[in-house]
Amino acid sequence: MKSGNEIVDLSFLFAVRIVNLYKYLKNEQKEYVLSKQLLRAGTSIGANITEAQDAQSKKDFISKLSISLKEAKESKYWIALLIETDYLSKNDKHVQSLLTELESIIKILNSIIISTKSTLS
């Protein structure tokens, strides 16, 4: 999916990676609880960003993006927990790139939220 909007595209690609990671954790690692939490949080980021595109107001836009930011931080938590419980390796290049991608999403969301809030006054 290419929308021409960086955060929309990044969050969609991240969601695809999370779905694939969920399938791996479920099928190969036989891990069902933590992976389901990560699936929900990781795919919710893009869903809320997409919803924000049709926000009814700037406050609604900020609210939706703030939910996305919370879900991104929650995803980071679940990935860290999966690493600490040895379901994922922090040295794996896929895990590292996933965390790098997540950090980019968090930074972009923070930036958009801050700049949009500054236009409210």
Walk me through the domains of the chain, giving residue ranges and CATH numbers: 6-118 (1.20.1440.60)
Q: Could you tell me the pLDDT band of residue 121, with boundaries at 50, 70 and 90?
A: low
- Mean pLDDT (whole number) for 82-94: 97
- Mean pLDDT (whole number) for 70-77: 98
pTM, to two decimals: 0.94
Tell which residue, 26, 35, 27, has the closest CA to residue 78: 35
Interval 8-30: pLDDT, tens = 999 999 999 999 999 999 999 99
Give Rg (Cα) of the chain. 15
Q: Could you tell me the pLDDT band of residue 120, with boundaries at 50, 70 and 90?
A: confident
- Mean pLDDT (whole number) for 69-92: 97
Q: How many CB atoms lie within 10 A of CB 45?
A: 30
Helices (H) and strands (E) in the chain, counts: 4, 0
